[in-house]
Amino acid sequence: MRFHVTTGGATAQRTDCLMLPVYQGGPLTAAVKAADRVLGGTLAALIDSEDFRGKAGDTLLLPAAGDLPFRRVLLVGCGPRKDFDRQQLRKALSAAFGAWRKTRLKRAACFLTLERARGSDAARRARIAAEVWHASAYRFTAMKSADEEPSPAASELTIACRGNEAAAARRGLAQGDAIGQGQNLARELGNLPGNICTPSYLAQQARRLARGDRRLQLQVLDEADMRKLGMGALLSVTAGTKEPAKFIVLRYRGAAQNKAPVVLVGKGITFDAGGISLKPPPQMDEMKYDMCGAATVLGVMQAVKLLGAKLNLVGIIPSCENLPSGTATKPGDIVTSMAGKTIEILNTDAEGRLILCDALTYAKRFKPAAIIDIATLTGACLIALGRYRSGLLANSDRLARRLEKAGELADDPVWRLPIDPPYQEQLKSNFADFANVGGRDAGTITAGCFLSRFTEDQQWAHLDIAGTAWQQGPQKGGTGRPVPLLMEFLLNG
């Protein structure tokens, strides 16, 4: 998709599809009024007669007869004006792009971005437009033997802004384009099945990103390297599978060498059967998404690379499968982590924290400004927060507040949970330094407590994305979250 900005009026647009915002219950928007004048009052008549009510998500495609620079008008419902906020804008844009994709129209000019959605400026609206475009254009086709729909003609999108907003809109558009692509990469990796998207496959994807880019440098450690580093916790998880584990380190240098990087650590369990503590069969297929933390890291790297962002970033992906077998780790086994701490593995299904703790220890060598890990870590997080907000746990109030703010702005929100010392008690073990589980109570918090023991001297935050990284139901699939949150944090946080 080619994106452009226009400061021209609606009737001046040489385009195939002129997208015009309509509020439910009025008033008519400036763009509709202008188009209505050259269309002989037909738009106002349709809206007055309530043939088109402007409900959020409704669209109506109309021919533009006569000698006009635009061929079609797409009326797009935005809901009541008093409710028009970023969410409504997203909904309306999504409907508009969905309707456009069903046509053979190549070029569209969108005037929804001219409307002042609450909590947005021109840059934000442009960014949202590009993000929503990528989300509505995403289809998972990699594993389908035949196309289910014809490839759409849509190829050029112009968004409207005011005369003094062009630079801001262009910047927002570029960000949204990059973030949307990064998010789609994360969606795609999440959706790919465990037999394709293996640890080696993730390493290949990292290689593809790094190739030919001087700012990106890739290192992939194999199990022998991990053994040398003493990553006993990570290795205990991969013990039950023949599929080789990979430890992926992707460095991006876009700022001065002495500027401390942010380190992102993404959980990369490419399939989580639970190990010897085997999961029950229902919905076990969804455990292919257990590498969505890793997918987020690669999605963010993709977006940062596309933008050529002036920042330093390290992505670390510990990746393996968690399967049962005769060589698998058993409940009661005690392992030694890279940090030297011993862990009693009471439940082999609490494997995410075991691969993350060694990655968090490894992360320290980069002397990071902050470490943020991203993981589909606990079912308890789904119970606590559902699928709207990701869980946030942190040992730094400042870092937590910055992430909270970034999440709100990016419409990719989080909710902070505590990691007070009393919760640490639940990890007590009679036989090792501590256990890998803390019982049923406060499962998301005790997982955070476990991780906090490996980041004591660091600015660290943990995002539990078990609920937000994928959707169920007819839209089943990866969401690409929290790529928007992390990009907001990295670019403006």
In whole angstroms, how close is the CB of 333 to ligand BES at the nearest point? 15
Q: Which residues have CB under 8 Å from 343's CB, separation 6+? A: 233, 334, 335, 336, 337, 354, 357, 432, 433, 434, 435, 436
Answer for which of 290, 404, 411, 412 binds ligand BES (CB under 6 A) is 290
x/- contact string, 309-348, with ligand BES (CB under 6 A)? Answer: --------------------------------------x-
Residues numbered 424 to 453 that lie near ligand BES (CB under 6 A) are 437, 443
- By CB atoms closer than 10 A (0-12, 13-18, 19+), residue 322 is buried
Q: Which is nearer to ligand BES, 120 or 468 (CB)?
A: 468
DSSP characters over 341-410: -EEE-S-TT--HHHHHHHHHHHHGGG--SEEEEEE---HHHHHHHTTTSEEEEES-HHHHHHHHHHHHHT
x/- contact string, 177-206, with ligand BES (CB under 6 A)? Answer: ------------------------------
Active-site residue among 91, 267, 353, 389? Answer: 353
Among 28-36, 96-104, 299-307, 351-359, the segment contacting Mn ion (CB under 5 A): 351-359
Residue 232 and residue 335 in contact, taking contact as beta carbons nearer than 8 Å:
yes
207 is catalytic: no
Q: Does 272 bind Mn ion (CB under 5 A)?
A: yes
In whole angstroms, how close is the CB of 269 to ligand BES at the nearest point? 6
Residue 313 and residue 338 in contact, taking contact as beta carbons nearer than 8 Å:
no
b (16+ CB within 10 A) / e for 415-452: ebbebeeebbebbebeebbbbbbbeeebbbbbbbbbbb
Answer for which of 272, 344, 411, 488 binds ligand BES (CB under 6 A) is 272
What is the end-to-end Cα distance of the chain in Å, rounded? 28
Q: Which is nearer to Mn ion, 409 or 447 (CB)?
A: 447
In whole angstroms, how close is the CB of 296 to Zn ion at the nearest point? 15
Q: Which is nearer to ligand BES, 135 or 350 (CB)?
A: 350
x/- contact string, 362-391, with ligand BES (CB under 6 A)? Answer: --------------xxxxx-x---------
Active-site residue among 215, 279, 364, 387? Answer: 279
Q: Which is nearer to ligand BES, 272 or 488 (CB)?
A: 272
Determine how β-strand 470-471 pairs with β-strand 107-110.
unpaired
In whole angstroms, how close is the CB of 391 to ligand BES at the nearest point? 11
Answer for which of 77, 199, 352, 448 binds Zn ion (CB under 5 A) is 352
| Amino acid letter, 194 | G
Q: Does 466 bind ligand BES (CB under 6 A)?
A: yes
Residue 75 and residue 94 in contact, taking contact as beta carbons nearer than 8 Å:
no
Sheet holding 70-77, edge to edge: 2-6, 156-160, 107-110, 15-22, 70-77, 59-63
246 is catalytic: no
Give the interface with Mn ion as residue ranges (CB under 5 A).
272, 349, 351
Q: Which residues are catalytic?
A: 279, 353
